[in-house]
Amino acid sequence: MAVKRYFYPSLSKSFLPSIRWQYFTSDQLHLHQLYDLSKKDFNHKGKKMAPRTREPFARKLFKGVLVFEFAAICGVYALFHAMNSSRDFRSTMNRRLPSVLELYYKSNEWAGIYGIRELDQAAWSAKKE
């Protein structure tokens, strides 16, 4: 029986891995393959798997909460900007959502800007007359 020779790369164990080519005879290759297969555990039926962590779910949930908060802040700023720049929009908000308009007036008063409520009421009463 003829011995076949195979030419396979193997990694050296130096600091920078380099490829070193080695010759294996058919008998050595067979033992080499059996040695690699003996390291693997194919009989895992009796063993319990490690429990999965909830870290990926927690990260997705955290990212979702951050995106939701960012969208909410952008929406509140857009609403405040629209109310701050247009008296007509404040009139619409007075008809549809008076509690939001009241919150707008109170936030301006907390910031030290007074008189917007009175100017709006005077303009709206003059418009009705």
Q: Where are the domains of the chain?
A: 1-11+18-36, 71-128
pLDDT in the model for residue 12: 47
**Which of 104, 74, 106 shows the shortest CA–CA distance to 86?**
104
Q: Which residue has the tokens 């059996």?
A: 34
Q: pLDDT at residue 117 above 90?
A: yes
Report the distance separating Cα 1 and Cα 49, nearest Å: 46
- 3-state SS, residue 25: strand
SS3 call for 126: helix
The shares of helix, strand and coil residues in the chain, as percent rounded to the nearest 5, are 65, 10, 25
What is the value of pTM for the model shown? 0.55
Share of the chain above pLDDT 90, in %: 52
φ, ψ for residue 17, nearest 5 deg: -65, 130
Which residue is listed with tokens 């009421």? 121
Q: What is the pLDDT of residue 50?
A: 67
